[in-house]
Amino acid sequence: MTDLPALPATMPAVAVTGAFPVSDPRCLDDVVVDVPAPGPRDLLVEVTAVSVNPIDTKMRLRAAEQVAAGGQPVLGYDAAGTVVAVGDKVTRFSVGDAVFYAGDQTRPGTDARFHAVDERIVGHAPTSVSLVEAASLPLTSLTAWEALFERLGIGLDAGTGSPGSLLILGGSGGVPSAMVQLARALTGLTVIGTAGREESRTWLTRLGAHHVIDHHRDLAEQVAELQQRGVPPVRHVFTSQSSGRAAELAALLAPAGDLCLIDDPAPFELSAFKRKSQAVHWESMFTKIIFGDATGDPAADPATQGRILDRVADLVDAGRMVPTTGETLVGLNAESLVAAHRDLEAGHVTGKIVVRV
């Protein structure tokens, strides 16, 4: 590890200290923990801002076992900040670099003043927006990128994608917001979004969706109406809202089409996709950092995520993609994060909730 600057021995963080619902302010607590020492391939980042994702609320609810064993799990899976120290084997970054990244489920999270992270999953932050804005991008951009180009197998770069339409379910949430932009910037597909509110419809249209259909109406009927107007068949579907929709999605998806989902639907009848020879894929952004080193499979190489984030930063700086910040809270503390968790669990969040230090 390089010589550390004068850093404190301890730092403020926000942790799960009890199994409480989000309606109880004790569901997250302000704590003091040791400043982590970076490992050989780690960066130590002084956090400027984090953003909050549905995975945060899920992990909070699953933390009861760690808490019962005396642990204080720190959550957080998105951050932007400045490198203050690097490990001995770090090659891509130097002290002072501005970075953004999504972190690692197997290590303490980003809801802290300082955070240690493997350099391979870190990107150089875009220079045209603030670090607060950049914090809205990593997890959702990585999920959207991997879903589009690795799971659904869509060709990169405008005009080279497979013909047809891409249907994106999930309204104005973080991943759909990123996916609309990536699909418009890097593929030749017609992009169809779904929305249940006028606010969400306006948001998706502003981000570049060619068409936005009503999430509360029969999707297959609306897709058929679009096709009657000359819109290409839906050959790819992404969804974060899959429960009970298998038959509907199979009906609107073209034969031999591909579906990618990121949620844990119940029920979800896979046999609905057999008759039309359709493929179903799951996407989890954390697969690479959890399994990549153990398997040695190039398809799960964690370093691809750093490269993806660098490409996302380039798109932002070129004006082809914008941060998806919907709300910014001030103060990286339990009060702010409880409010963010509460809003996420209530639904109807447009874009990302960002919390700045």
What is the model's pLDDT at position 67? 84
State pTM to two decimals: 0.95
What is the model's pLDDT at position 348? 73
The pair of structure tokens assigned to 136 is 């809205």
117 neighbors 76 (Cβ within 8 angstroms): no
Q: What is the mean pLDDT of the chain?
A: 94
List of domains in the chain: 10-137+298-356 (3.90.180.10), 140-282 (3.40.50.720)
- Secondary structure of residue 47 in the 3-state scheme: strand
131 neighbors 357 (Cβ within 8 angstroms): no
153 burial type by CB count under 10 A (0-12 exposed, 13-18 middle, 19+ buried): middle
DSSP 151: I
Handedness of CA 298, 184, 173, 319 (dihedral sign): positive
Strand partners, 46: 82, 114
What is the model's pLDDT at position 6? 81
Residue listed under structure tokens 């090659």: 91
170: left (phi over 0), alpha (psi -120 to 50) or beta: left
What is the model's pLDDT at position 123? 99
What is the model's pLDDT at position 349? 84
pLDDT digits 0-9 by tens, 123-181: 999 999 999 999 999 999 999 999 999 999 998 875 555 579 999 998 889 999 999 99
pLDDT digits 0-9 by tens, 276-309: 999 999 999 999 999 998 888 888 999 999 999 9
Could you give the CA distance from residue 211 to residue 157 in angstroms, rounded to a whole number? 21
What is the model's pLDDT at position 4? 54
Could you give the CA distance from residue 136 to residue 132 in angstroms, rounded to a whole number? 7
Mean pLDDT by 10 residues, the chain (357 residues): 73 92 91 97 99 93 81 95 98 98 95 98 99 98 98 80 85 93 96 94 96 96 97 97 94 98 92 98 96 89 98 98 96 97 88 95
141 neighbors 309 (Cβ within 8 angstroms): yes
The pair of structure tokens assigned to 288 is 């690479």
Residue listed under structure tokens 């050989």: 40
Crossing angle for the helix pair 174-186 and 198-207, nearest 10 degrees? Answer: 30
User: Own/partner pairs for 153-159, CB < 8 Å, 24+ apart?
Assistant: 153/258, 154/183, 154/187, 154/189, 154/236, 155/187, 156/186, 156/187, 157/186, 157/187, 158/185, 158/186, 158/187, 158/188, 159/188
Could you give the CA distance from residue 237 to residue 224 in angstroms, rounded to a whole number? 15
Residue listed under structure tokens 């298998």: 246
Could you give the CA distance from residue 20 to residue 345 in angstroms, rounded to a whole number? 14
